[in-house]
Structure 1
């Protein structure tokens, strides 16, 4: 099940104008806007370099529009930001222009594509990478109509660290910032855990030194609002980093009587929206006077997320961006969890630089799951929804669930409507699935592909020594080498998303029973041996068929499974 705020949304300015903002979920929406590519030439100031960047502009955007700059992390590019983070769908939904810079090239010893937050030359106004990002933003403003009170910046990991630096070095420019797995201002490379172990370990400057470094850089009194997003189980950027960002920001910008978390905390709520699992996420607001009615100075979004991710290129250290239902399981990106795009935008939209509220439509947030599953012949209770309008604040919501029939299996909907004082109307829809709990849940789908292709499609994962083996994600059976892109392996789907090397029992009787399907592998003798397709007896022989494959472990041979557990030399016909 999923929990997202928007399944189907229509916003209208009564009585005639209708604007479609998002498509029907749970299928992922296709972005309706346009992506333009640019290069900022190398500038004359110290340590500048040519930087590529892309700008995504939704259709039917208001003018001037808010701008959100999003910075990729190490070993990522701006294409990962655009494709995996769910931000293009959020731009469509909320009406902001999305800017995705790419580091393009860099100096010093660092991992691939890291922003150089720990280099002195890249974290001060007027030079290096932080100034290049500022110049990119100015270039965007020269090409697009940008609201000068609503310029925002976010990023992941080293990109999150650069978002913190931008919030300090150019707090005269940005309205608010939201680092995810970020690093405090002025830190060294030792602030990142590079041991490859979990839990991670890192060292940080003292709180007094971080605040002193910030004070030395700040040239504007504007108390820039900051949202800090952190997986408490992150082993690469550990939670202590997020705590220090929060504490230093409170010291640097807060009232002396309210400059600690205990003094400045105004309220804590459960994070919303989320996709499938909230992971115990708590969103906490800290204000300059510790009261809930005040503007946020810092907000934290802390959750107990998993270590492992579906993407085989990740380090499985709990270090990633959470894109929500419109995101993808890309490199260091996860769909399941508190939806960063929606949560970050709810923070940004409430914190323009001058405190003004933009004209716009109410934002409806559904309470509970969407889609929502209801057991057949049980009572249905609508969890309800809330709505916020930038101009009016809380707005009442009316719900129509009259179509839901819990006595018949099917897909139904609840429609929610909110209207603001300017007669702008937003509608949202919750999908309600009435299911028979006694009906089989297995899909019984079958897919034949190489072990490598199964990993890429999420049907299997890499594991074993040095991640050289492939395991079906449903029953953890070894199906070959993770590097094997030429063999053919049949997997069966049980419950949606769970794939098995053997046909699930619930599927075996379908259609009177499927005949055995031959599979074949072209792999080393050692790989065949490790996968139980062969055994060693002074040489390598196929299991069951006893065909001689060769004497050397590094020799390659085709092996086919002709019946359950019986392997012979050769290929399937």
Structure 2
């Protein structure tokens, strides 16, 4: 294996490291660590480029710590990974260093910010993007105390495909990998459905070709464990891709004739999840199909929805699920099996040396925190425990603290002990609420659209992200670049902000009263005033009503709610 002299000796040529606290979104907890920003300079090997990356380090980190590298998908950046994926909260809880590279710049025909998994010069050791990622990992190890047995990589979409490439090209370096909506090694651009239709349409290499391409690239016999996460309803990266990743990996790293059928060791419902499991199944494949062994492959297959809350998504079922501490961002949702917890559990069970920290791993079933209505019975959904040496273990649960007759937070404590008397405990928060108590906070915040975005009350969207939308009702509140206007937003459910006051907060003495303003002007002037936008024709902002294709055509536009415009006059 060729060693490239990069690492911090070259990073020392850069400016001082920028240290900044990452802004927390309203729906996510405040992060307890620090985020450091770096740039890996362009290297001497073929197809290298300068790469920006950020490193999130939790406070009170025990070292040497595990490292998790997370790769954004197309049309995303590493800022989206840190803000939306729930991985910073997982880093705080589980104690790992989170590394989020940015593609920064790229060659070839590809969508915005895609990793080049289908280019031959970006998927071989010692070249291109896969080597740049390896060098970023080495640089992080020079800057922070990282456990060399616990280097992990994950990603979404093109980032998931690149995680598969990294796991193949540098299986001597990474301990385990996890690909969400990813693609098999060696695939080309035709494996992604770009029709914009559901169901999608794509073509794939045969599993035998995937296995052959992988075998040709490998220079180490380490059978790197791989987790494959896939929504069966994904219309951009199809279920076939996940099946082929699994089957190709089993053919390469399993015993002769290894296949899905003779390698399956167990299949259980996915856990943990937030609000809805989406019929997710967690299946484990081992060398001989026996439980308790290290996995060759694990799959997380779910029946998730197509639609997502964020207007910047395509609503094609293609996203990362961040769970309770995630965010409804660009190609990311909160509801569903919690990827950060599930992926970390997989990583924690698969260090490079084959051992674990020596303690059982407890996985909670159901939501954490869990909400129970006042006066209703509480049923503990339970937990499972697994140990690398003992396999499945029994779990002792103590929920005696829970009192559903009184509003408040309570705790269930779970404990598991292995044959070496190593004990692990975990807690679930059980929140008892009064369903008759209004949950709206009715708080108000007045600021510019730009400030609302920065504080998580709104998000950027529309053409080139030039518009700002309230997080609760997705109403256009002005230009995302606007730092001078003053817009008042109203909080309903904590973390959800609305352009108009929620009904539970307002004065309902005159129900049905609404304020409406209308304008008659040219479509061009409507566009310049922010009441309309052009997309092959003129459409009203918010209502998306068609106004016509001619800029000079005069039309009526009415504002039925702040920032929400429709065609026609007020009644």
Residue 357 (str. 1) matches residue 361 (str. 2) = no
In the alignment, structure 1 segments of 5+ residues that lack a partner are: 1-25, 534-550, 562-566
Instruction: Tell me: CA distance 1:154–1:461, structure 2 relative to 1, closer, same or farther (3 Å).
Output: closer
Q: Tell me the equivalent position of 2:329.
A: 330
Deviations 1:311-370 (A, max 9, x none): 2221111111111111111111111111111111111111112211225x6554333333
Q: Secondary structure at the match of 1:325?
A: helix
Instruction: Tell me: CA distance 1:260–1:373, structure 2 relative to 1, closer, same or farther (3 Å).
Output: same
Q: Tell me the equivalent position of 2:204.
A: 204
Deviations 1:77-126 (A, max 9, x none): 11111111111111111121111111111111111111111111111111
> What does 1:120-519 align with in structure 2 at a 5 Å threshold?
120-257=120-257, 259-359=258-358, 363-388=361-386, 397-408=395-406, 410-418=407-415, 420=417, 426-436=425-435, 518=515
In the alignment, structure 2 segments of 5+ residues that lack a partner are: 1-25, 532-550, 562-566
Instruction: Tell me: CA distance 1:314–1:295, structure 2 relative to 1, closer, same or farther (3 Å).
Output: same
Q: Tell me the equivalent position of 1:8.
A: none
Deviations 1:478-528 (A, max 9, x none): 999999989999998888889999988877775x56895746567857699
Return the offset for 1:207.
Answer: 1.8
Instruction: Tell me: CA distance 1:146–1:208, structure 2 relative to 1, closer, same or farther (3 Å).
Output: same
Return the offset for 1:202.
Answer: 0.4
> Larger Rg: 1 or 2?
1
Q: 2:362 touches 2:424 (CA, 8 Å); kept in 1?
A: no
Instruction: Tell me: CA distance 1:450–1:154, structure 2 relative to 1, closer, same or farther (3 Å).
Output: same
Q: Tell me, in whole angstroms, the C-alpha distance in 2 between the residues paired with 1:89 and 1:219.
A: 35
Return the offset for 1:378.
Answer: 3.8
Instruction: Tell me: CA distance 1:109–1:347, structure 2 relative to 1, closer, same or farther (3 Å).
Output: same
Return the offset for 1:242.
Answer: 0.7
Q: 2:402 touches 2:430 (CA, 8 Å); kept in 1?
A: no
Return the offset for 1:256.
Answer: 2.1
TM-score with structure 2 length normalisation?
0.77
TM-score with structure 1 length normalisation?
0.76
Q: Tell me, in whole angstroms, the C-alpha distance in 2 between the residues paired with 1:372 and 1:88.
A: 21
Q: Tell me, in whole angstroms, the C-alpha distance in 2 between the residues paired with 1:294 and 1:362.
A: 14
Return the offset for 1:415.
Answer: 3.1
Deviations 1:157-197 (A, max 9, x none): 11111111111111121111111111111111111111111
Q: 1:266 touches 1:286 (CA, 8 Å); kept in 2?
A: yes
Deviations 1:428-485 (A, max 9, x none): 132232435x66777778899999999997899999x999999999999x99999998
Instruction: Tell me: CA distance 1:124–1:303, structure 2 relative to 1, closer, same or farther (3 Å).
Output: same
Instruction: Tell me: CA distance 1:424–1:30, structure 2 relative to 1, closer, same or farther (3 Å).
Output: farther
Deviations 1:400-420 (A, max 9, x none): 444433345x12413305365
Higher RCO (CA-CA < 8 Å; seq separation 6+)? 1
